[in-house]
Amino acid sequence: MYPFKLKPATKDYIWGGDRLKHEYGIDSPDSIVAEAWMLSCNVSGASTIMNGPLAGKSLADALFSDVEKALGINNSFAVYFPILIKFIDAKDDLSIQVHPRNGYALENEGEFGKTEMWYVLDAQEGAFLYYGFSRAVTRDEMRERIENNTIIEILNRVAVKKGDVFFIEAGTIHAIGKGIMIAEIQQNSDSTYRVYDYNRTDSNGNKRELHIGKALDVTDTNFVPGVPKVHASVKKPGYCVTRLASCIYFTVDHLSINSFAKLECDEKSFTSLLFIEGSGSILFNNREYGEDGVIAVSKGDSLFLPAGTGAYRIEGRCRVLVTVR
């Protein structure tokens, strides 16, 4: 198996915009691209391989024959591909929602739960999001406020700017506000319970489904988050690295590369490379990868490196989110 350059699956949800097409080069026949699933084996939208002898196959199909080796030692007991990585363009507000934890999701949805993190790629002036409650509430109060459309009055409203990071543990009520673009790294799950959607209707005049009962079951009503954590950068030869998040599901680093970065993908885990700014080239020790060991990259590119890919070097001026498990 070799490093895959991926084409994302795209979603045209009603709150999305067109910036992913125009600014990140995301290819889609739809005028709206709300989400681009940059690294996905999910049945609701798998990424497609763009390079090499497996070009045209879905990532899920390509990994099926050698999944344990490709995912690495850390994932040897994984039931299915463990993470899902997205770009999200919120031209309008997303619904107020919550995701279940593993046990509830497995019992009720047939998949794992959804803990996620957000890295803010861009935010318009005055943009904000909802992240947890502004104070502890009771389940009865939450139910009452959902019923009378006042739920947002008790949510924690947070102003955001480019570069902010949020860790959204399963059970945390939340919503991305309009004018925000994010990269989302999450458990491989599509289980979302909406509790409020601003009484919007779709193109057919129908309101989107709410999932109030399930949301009440899984929401942590005592969670009042603090200020988003600021992470210190560590200077390395040719680049700076910042740890954005680390949990049992994923570890994410932000690399700001000024000239080059020497890295390695060992046998412990696969590596996801998501290019969020700039351009450059990846040079692999194995000359069979890419064009004589080189793959050109630019803003909006997503690569999957199978475990054991070995040493590689990113050259250029770019910013990259590096995810392992």
Element (H, E) at 141: helix 139-147
Specify the residue for token string 């995301």: 26
Identify the active-site residue in 19, 101, 194, 319: 194
Helices and strands counted in the chain (H then E): 6, 23
Could you give the CA distance from residue 58 to residue 61 in angstroms, rounded to a whole number?
A: 5
309 closest CA partner among 285, 280, 273 = 285
Rg (CA), the chain: 20
| C-alpha distances in Å from residue 272, one per residue of 75, 204, 236 | 14, 38, 20
CA distance linking residue 66 with residue 60, whole number of Å: 11
Given a contact cutoff of 8 angstroms between Cβ atoms, the answer to whether 49 and 6 are in contact is: yes
C-alpha to C-alpha distances, 277 to 252, 301, 302, nearest whole angstrom: 16, 10, 12
Is 194 considered catalytic here? Answer: yes
Kindly report the backbone phi and psi dihedral angles of residue 267, in degrees, each rounded to the nearest multiple of 5, phi listed first: -80, -5
In angstroms, the CA 267 to CA 287 distance is 19
Phi-psi region of 175 (alpha: psi -120 to 50; beta: other; left: phi over 0): beta
C-alpha closest to that of 95 among 199, 196, 219:
196
CA–CA distance, 152 with 282 (Å, rounded to integer): 45
| CA dist list (Å): 292 to 263, 279, 305 | 18, 19, 16
Residues with a known catalytic role: 194
